[in-house]
Every structure is written in structure tokens, then in C-alpha cells.
Amino acid sequence: MGMSSEVFPTLRPPHSSSLLFSDYHTHPQGHRGQRYTQALLQPWAESARRLGLKDIAFTDHDRYHAGIDFDEIDRLREQNPDLQIRMGIELDNDPVHSAAGRNWIEKHWDKLDFVLGSVHFLNRDDQMFDSVPAGARQFEHRNIDAIYADYFRRVREMACTGLVDCLAHLDLVKIHGHRPTADIATLINETLELIRAQDLVIELSTAGWRKPVHELYPSDAIIKLAIEKEIRFTTASDAHSHVQLGENFPSLAQKTSILGIRQICTFERHKRTALSLQL
């Protein structure tokens, strides 16, 4: 578990209007438990088709794993043969629910295509620090440098679980606009070195552009360092509604071009394939 094998050579995906072809961070259940049904899932397939996306992964939060129905995913695939629909999940560090989530992932590992790893909790068990706007209060009157160090320590712990293929919104800690005063280059380098050692990828998430920080996750500096370390990427919107699928992907396509990213990864049963972007 947790060590993705990569397929070569790379392939060229079908053309899409934004040049990007996959969204690997989506939440059909949103922020509440809902049973997977065709009524819930089909709008996501239709949105993908409308946007020119060819490959999408459902990655609901692990605390909602009870709503996941693999048979419904199979039916959706049968009804949408033109799309690659991946079954995934987002494992986070929820102190209340993540133990059950990990057990569920271990049990269903062979049925899953893709597992995201993320950090949403810091020093409070009852509130995600990235809640907007309430979570910003967790940063008030605290040492921001220490918060950053704590956050990235938790990211490294997630990377070492052996249960994830990709790290989500890698610098989510910046969500409310708080910036460290200390140089965190060593902290970032240590984190990326571990990600490379674990053979994981990181996502390019447009979600940051709709949050108070108004930036892509992760920052350009982190992306550039990841490229130097030959760490690969997925593309993601973190959509909690099908109308958010592929949000700001034209801007993300421009960003990938500027930064020189030429390949994006897809997954099937945790096996990674690098696909070339049409630039």
C-alpha cells in the first residue's frame, strides 16, 4: 500500500478547452453524509463532459465513507463510457474519525484507484483550521512560525502512513492569509524530500483561488522546488458541488505552462500514469 508504480511511456490525452483533462479532488457528498446514487453522481459526469474533462476522481472525506457504494460507481461507469471515473477518498488527520477512515481504506484498498492525504486539524479536535471564516481564530495570538512547523510535521506524518497516493493542498496552512516570519525553506525542503522518498505526488489545487488567501495550492516556490525534485502532479478543484468541477482550470492551465509543467498524473488501482499536456 501507498507506493505508487508508474506507467511509461506517457500518453497524450484528448483535447480539452482548458488544456487540462483531469480533476482528482471532488466531493460528491459535500460536507454531509449522503449515499451514492445515480442522481447524486450523474451530474458530476455531465459537468465533466461539458468542461472537456476526461478523467475525474471522487474523493469524499473519509468520515463519509459509509456513503460510498462501489456498485453505484460501476453503474456510473457503464452509463458514461467516454469518461474515466476513478474511485478515491480523502484521508485526513481528523482526530475523531480518521482511525475508522484508515481502517476502511485498508479494507477497500484494492477497490480504490486513488487516495488523497490531507491535514485539516491542528490543535483543536472539534474544528478544522481551514473552516472559513471560523477557523481563522485558531491563528489569533499564536506564533505563526510554530503553526507552520506543526502543520508540515503533520503533513509528513500523513505522507508516511503508506495509505495515500497524493498529498492534497500542500500548503493549506496559508488559507487565511497568515504568513511565517521565519524562512521555511528548510521545512519545505524536508517535506518534499519525504514526499519524493515515499514516491507520492502532490496536487495543483485551484481551491486556494476561491479562499481568503487567493492563491493556488501550493505556492509557485513550492511547485518549482517539487519540479527540481522530479515530484509529479495531479490537477484538482476540491469541488464540493458539481458546479465547482474544474473551477479555474483555464487559469491553472496557464500556470502549468508558465512553470514548465508538461505532464499530469492519473491513477488506476493506485498505478500512476503520466500524461503529456497539450501546450
Position 27 scores a pLDDT of 98
Q: Are 73 and 114 in contact (CB under 8 A)?
A: no
Q: What does the pLDDT look like over 12-60, one tens digit per residue?
A: 333 344 589 999 999 999 999 999 999 999 999 999 999 999 999 999 9
CA gyration radius for the chain?
A: 18
Position 13 scores a pLDDT of 38
| Average pLDDT rounded to a whole number, residues 122-136 | 94
Cα–Cα distance, 7 to 267 (Å, whole number): 10
Cα–Cα distance, 279 to 20 (Å, whole number): 10
Q: Strand 22-23 and strand 5-11: pairing?
A: unpaired
Q: Dihedral, CA atoms, 202, 50, 275, 204, nearest 10 degrees?
A: -20
pLDDT of 2 > 80? The answer is: no
| Average pLDDT rounded to a whole number, residues 130-157 | 96
**pLDDT band at residue 117 under the 50/70/90 scheme:** very high
**pLDDT band at residue 279 under the 50/70/90 scheme:** low
Burial class (CB in 10 A: 0-12, 13-18, 19+), 235: buried
C-alpha cell at 115: 487516495
Flag the least confident range among 11-25, 211-225, 246-260. 11-25
Position 278 scores a pLDDT of 77
Flag the least confident range among 12-16, 140-144, 161-165, 216-220. 12-16
Cα–Cα distance, 140 to 144 (Å, whole number): 9
**CB atoms < 10 A from the CB of 115, how many?**
25
| Average pLDDT rounded to a whole number, residues 224-230 | 98
Burial class (CB in 10 A: 0-12, 13-18, 19+), 208: buried
Position 19 scores a pLDDT of 82
Position 8 scores a pLDDT of 36
pLDDT of 10 > 70? The answer is: no
Per the document, the length of the chain is 279
| Average pLDDT rounded to a whole number, residues 212-220 | 97
**pLDDT band at residue 1 under the 50/70/90 scheme:** low
**pLDDT band at residue 138 under the 50/70/90 scheme:** very high
Q: What is the pTM of this model?
A: 0.92
| Average pLDDT rounded to a whole number, residues 119-124 | 95
Domains of the chain and any CATH numbers: 5-276 (3.20.20.140)
The widest CA-to-CA distance across the chain, in whole angstroms, is 53
Q: Are 139 and 130 in contact (CB under 8 A)?
A: no
